[in-house]
Amino acid sequence: MKTLENCYEFNFSKITFVERKIRITHPKTIITGASKTGKSYLIYDFLSNFKTKDYIYIDLKDPRNSLEEVKDNLALFLRQNQITVLVLENFSFEFELPYCDNIIISTSIPKSIRGFKNITVSALDFEEYLLHDNRHQNMLQSFNNFFKYGNLSEVINIEEHKKVQRLQEIIKLQVQNETQLEILKLLFENIDEKKSLYQLFTTLKNKIKISKDKFYETCKIFENNKTIYFVSKYNQEKANKKIYSYNHSFLNAISHNKKFKNEFTNMIFLELIDKYKNIYYLDNIDFYIKSKNIAIVGIPFFNTLLVNSALRKIYKIMDEYQIKELNIITISNDEKISHENFKINVIPFYEWALS
């Protein structure tokens, strides 16, 4: 039982944990989420409430750990040591779960089990990012780094010249082969674009040899583990979906082609995903939150004179869908626009994200 004996020696009581908006609150919990969003640290925080002798932590991706040994001996080991908390990291449900008072599972395979609560861990939102950012006291400086290098906690405090390299490494952690890497890069390159999977497949087919089924299957994997999001047009399921990444800065890590507006809009989307169940887009409107009757548009460098034509198109859609409020998210502009039919706010991202 070498694997189990070694896993039983872990002590998480001294790990520093910065508070997140999401926590493990149920004794039987299945955690999913994209790579490096903080799933493990939520587990460490949960384990810090118990004595070391009461839990066993098994990471099934650790090459030192034998899956067969865990499968054959786990139930007996739990009973012999009176363990009350079982953690299975990177578990793919290869064996039946033994009895234990508390079972915490992290997995890339979303699965519902009776008696278990499912939670999805997203990357840091801007408010959480500020709590993790120990280097910058200036809001503008923090925002600039958040925009440039993204929302993953481990990237925040590493040296600047190593940040992009680490982002590239994290991208590669999420794939099993070069084909999956090319698919993921293609999806990142098309954030905030309206593209069908067939259009993307056709593009990739001209670059590498790949079947349509394999392409669609891989995209579904990335969607299921929340690496990629597909946003539908409201009331038009057959319309092309807009594509978003769980970290807006991955585009900057894989390409020298700057798409400032796309990255900015992706960043806005990530502030919405944990707040609203249903997010849509409309013509000329980036995000439509029907439950709140709100339209959200990203215009990084807002100038009333320059965007009057765009605003008229937005107002027309708001009239059509009877939307009462428009939030225009900017880099730094802050103003009110008077309109007889709508409430219109022009707000800097950092103010909007913290409101």
Q: What DSSP line would sit under 247-313, residue for residue?
A: STTHHHHH-S---HHHHHHHHHHHHHTTT-S--EEETTEEEEEGGGTEEEEE-SS--HHHHHHHHHH
Residue 252 lies in domain: 124-271
Closest CA to 41 of 127, 132, 170, 158: 132
Give the domain CATH number at 24: 3.40.50
In this structure, are 130 and 263 located in the same domain? yes
- Residue 161 dihedral angles phi and psi, to the nearest 5°: -70, -10
Q: How confident is the model at residue 154 (pLDDT cuts 50, 70, 90)?
A: very high
CB 280 within 8 A of CB 232: yes
Asked whether residue 134 falls in the same domain as residue 56, the answer is: no
Q: What per-residue confidence (pLDDT) applies to 321? A: 96
Let me know whether 13 and 64 are in one domain: yes
Q: What is the pLDDT of residue 349?
A: 96
Q: How many residues does the chain have?
A: 355
Question: 160-173 vs 178-189: helix axis angle to the nearest 10?
Answer: 120
Quote the pLDDT of residue 109.
Answer: 83
The lowest-confidence range among 16-25, 71-80, 116-125, 235-244 is: 16-25
| 147 and 218 together in one domain | yes
**Residues 151, 111 within the same domain:** no
Q: Are residues 140 and 67 in the same domain?
A: no
> Could you report how far apart the first and last alpha carbons of the chain are, in Å?
52
Residues 282 and 346 in one domain: yes
Q: Are residues 143 and 173 in the same domain?
A: yes
Read off the CATH number of the domain in which 179 is found. Answer: 1.10.10
Q: Which one-letter amino acid corresponds to residue 263?
A: E
- Beta strands 28-32 and 102-106: pairing type? parallel
* Total of domains in the chain: 3
Domain boundary among 271, 304, 328: 271
282-328, pLDDT tens digit by residue? 999 999 999 999 999 999 998 877 788 889 999 999 999 999 999 99
Q: What is the DSSP string of 89-128?
A: ET----SPPPP-SEEEEE-SS----TT-EEEE-----HHH
In the predicted structure, residue 92 carries a pLDDT above the cut 90: yes
112 shares its domain with 162: no
Do residue 164 and residue 261 come from a single domain? yes
Task: Examine the fold and report which residue of 67, 88, 120 is the final residue of a domain before the chain moves on.
Answer: 120
Of the residues 90, 120, 150, the one at which a domain ends: 120
Range 77-104 average pLDDT: 96
Q: Is the pLDDT of residue 136 over 80?
A: no
